[in-house]
Chains A and B, each alone.
Chain A
Amino acid sequence: MNDLVKSFYEAWNLIFSFDPEIYGIILLTLKVTLLSSGIAALLGVPAGIIVGSRNFFGKGLIVRLVHTFMGLPPVVAGLVTYIFLSRKGPLGSLNLLFTPTAMVIAQMLIVFPIIMGLSISAVKLKYKVVEETCMGLGLSRVHTLRLLLHECRYPILSAVLAGYGRAIAEVGAVMLVGGNIQYHTRVITTAIMLETGKGNYDKALALGIVLITMSFIINAIMYRIQEEKRE
């Protein structure tokens, strides 16, 4: 128990001593996570809106595939990315393996179906009544889509934040394609695994506290969004 308390104490000291390695890990985590969830949102939200608001041949299959991939095991996403980016893979010549870019790609594969799937659900509830109301007023297709996005902004924002929350907690895929290289591809989750294995509980705890704090901030924002919607 004394060791545990000591570790917490050391962890707080590490955070507020602005240890360069710790903060380098935090900054890389933020960079990789923001990039992967940002790109996934840019692709996933419009895709979700289009699929959720239209009826077309194959829609059912696409929705089922998206829902399946929402539960994609992260290590499988990492494996697929690894195979593609490895020297013998189709994109091996790009030399992206064991780089932050590879980690962004792997995280995107995990986060994109989550954002798209939740966006489809958000839009499905509203699109018919929004579309008919806009038709009834003679509004253009573009205007209708803008209004649909406006009406679904809270659930879509929640979808994006859910994607971000998933990305920041990712460990398996980023470990595979990033390699957990010090000062290069080490993020919070992979560093926690490493430091715990080495017995450096203070460092692992420091990073764990930061990770929980970041998750708490995301959840606080999501909660605030839901409260604003209810008002």
Chain B
Amino acid sequence: MDVLLENITKSYKGRTVLDIPRLEFKRGKIYSILGPNGSGKTTLLRIIFNIEKADSGTVSFPGNSAKPVAGEMAFLLQMPYLFDLSVLDNVMLGICSSRRSFRKNDKRAGGAEIRGDAKMMALEALDRVGLKDFANARAVTLSGGEAQKVALARTFVSPRKLVLLDEPTASVDISSIKMIEDYIKEVNMKHKTTIILTTHNPFHARRIADEAIILWKGRVIERGKPDKILTSPEKEETKQFLENWEIRNR
């Protein structure tokens, strides 16, 4: 799914959070939005997904014959919330079906057959993040990192045209980051899903993104191939941001 932002502005109490004349995302690519804390990364995602309204400007989906329906997009929050259900039932919530139900014996879900398929899909997604053994555990008992993985499985369990991920590796341990990055790339390749993720880790962007976008005080100051931006940044602000990661010295 293509996404086009035009003349997007957003302010909170007089402070400009976003000021983007034009920003485009192409179908089937992975974009990484990089920037320091408070640069507007999360707000940008929330406006794209329409969880928050911009003060002005438009978000459109060129090439999509109609306005995207809810099931075509997904958004993983920065601090994902798991419901007080089993881990499996949480993941099953992500399955796009008009007859989906989160109750075990709900006949209105279309019967055991649909629920059986959904269960298999959910178990596969859990297996992908290494948590299949936790399927029957109560989701609220998981650690922060485990919860993040379950939330990611829930986001990816069903094919989507557009997925927004807000700091998807924020709470996970280093050994799990590669697993999550591989999962993101796999979903992108398999379903041609447009994936837009935010991070303040340039290494993460370099490993998985087709394009990196640098956000600084609400403005896009640079964009391009991650390798190029991270090794040869053009803007002073980008250099300042990257200095903390000592990219240029590697």
Which residues of A are in contact with B by a Cβ distance under 8 Å?
129-130, 132-133, 135-140, 143, 146-147, 150-151
Contact = CB atoms under 8 A, between A and B. Distances in A.
A135 B49 contact: yes
A107 B133 CA distance: 51
Contacts of A138: 69-74, 96
Given A150-B83, A151-B83, A133 B77 contact: yes
Contacts of A130: 81, 83
B93 interface: yes
Given A135-B49, A136-B76, A129 B81 contact: yes
B84 interface: yes
Interface of B: 49, 51, 69-77, 80-81, 83-85, 93-94, 96, 102, 154-155
Contacts of A136: 49, 51, 74-77, 155
Contacts, number: 48
Interface of B is mostly: loop
Nearest to B160: A138
Contact of A151 (B72, B76, B84): B84
Contacts of B51: 132, 135-136
19 contacts: A129-B77, A130-B83, A132-B75, A132-B81, A133-B80, A133-B83, A135-B49, A135-B75, A136-B49, A137-B74, A137-B94, A137-B155, A138-B71, A138-B72, A138-B96, A139-B70, A147-B93, A150-B83, A151-B83
- Residue from the set A137, A139, A140, A147 with the largest chain B CB neighbour count within 10 Å: A137
Contact of A133 (B71, B81, B84, B96): B81
A230 B76 CA distance: 27
Given A133-B83, A136-B155, 8 more contacts: A130-B83, A132-B51, A133-B81, A135-B49, A136-B51, A136-B74, A138-B72, A151-B83
B142 to A, nearest CB: 15
B83 A139 contact: no
A137 B93 contact: yes
